[in-house]
Amino acid sequence: MPPERVDFEGRIADVWSWLPVGEIEPDALAQIRNVGSLPCAVAVAVMPDCHKGYGMPIGTALATKDAVVPYAVGVDIGCGMIAFRTDLPAPSTDQVKDILDRIYATVPVGMPTKKDRTAGSHRERQNSTVLRRWREERGDSFPGAKEIRERADHQLGTLGSGNHFLEGESSESDDLWFMLHSGSRSFGKKICDEHHARALAWCSANGVKLPDRELAFLPTDSDEGRDYLVDMGYAMRFAEESRARMEVACREAIGEVLGPFEVTFRIETHHNFAAFETHDGTEVVVHRKGAVSTADRVQVTIPGSMQTGSYIGRGIPNARALDTCAHGAGRLLGRNAVRRAHVGVDIRAEMAVEGIVLVSPPHSDALDEAGRAYKDIEGVMRYQADLVEPLVRLRPLGVVKG
């Protein structure tokens, strides 16, 4: 379906939506209105997985002129996906369980405690190359840099919780695929929080009236704006370094259970970042929050939920969309709402009946990540048919969740 132009009274930026306006939740629609009325906003593109976030909805792209908005990138800077295809056929359920159990024993999941961080084993400090360079370059100008680096070093190569996952999948050709989703953990949040505070101070000092305090921005030609972009870049590289470590663990587990194999395809994408780009002949800063770049017809990953299919696609550049597509299915219900509506549901048993293995900590039933918590991935793909060409549809075999 074609996108809808979204008109608001007093709107400054052009706003186009690939989710029918009548299907946008009221809180997210209010956020879109605020984003579109920012004095630095040039254009806004709303993806079909759009849902409420901090300041700007997740599943939105924002183009600004000479300004960067920390919360339009978000707290999990550099969050993204890796997907790879092997030359192996899809394994049996028992083999999937064995692979995921080995990954679970190697990759820390959930939120580590102070005891975890001091107990050695696989939560010991990892001495990230990215963090060491960040501390050397930025330590003197970033409050608490030593402590931030130390905590992040313990989180390097860990999955965390929430919507992050390590998932085995199979294609319609019965190939074994693997997909993982993670970000910059506490490091990205500290960077976002610090620069958001600086953005608030700059806007206040310069008399900028904001439609929402969470949309405070910094000029890109200011020291503060340049500092944010530098720190954002470090957070993106840290997220890549962390995903790379988990990918190694996943490949090793597959090999231990199924024997030697080759990776015949691999893709990695970011979906929380900002970048200088040229659109309509003008240089702008494009913020993609829960959204993926389709420039140059790159291939993209679009996960559904742990109970539904996912897609590998090829991006279709689209000027109105700021060359952007959805990063996944997008939440339909908040975590608490899912739990209230499905009290007593044994999601692990439900998935077992579906032939999907769930591996997670004993205290976590992952109900808030069930398929019912997310939008229909098929609907998302239909709505963005002019943004993504589907290449491969994947079905879940099993997943590790925090």
**Cα–Cα separations (whole angstroms), residue 144 to 74, 151, 190, 216:** 20, 11, 10, 22
Q: Which amino acid is at 357?
A: V
Is residue 164 among the annotated active site residues?
Answer: no
Q: Which amino acid is at 28?
A: A
Long-range contacts formed by 194-202: CB under 8 A, 24+ apart: 194/142, 194/143, 194/231, 195/70, 195/224, 195/227, 195/228, 195/231, 196/70, 196/71, 198/224, 198/227, 198/228, 199/69, 199/70, 199/224, 199/228
Rg (CA), the chain: 21
Task: Find the catalytic residue in 196, 270, 327, 342.
Answer: 327
Beta strands in 52-157 (DSSP E): 58-64, 67-68, 80-89
CB count in 10 Å sphere of residue 252: 14
What's the burial of 152, exposed, middle or buried (CB within 10 Å: 0-12/13-18/19+)?
A: buried
Catalytic residue IDs: 327
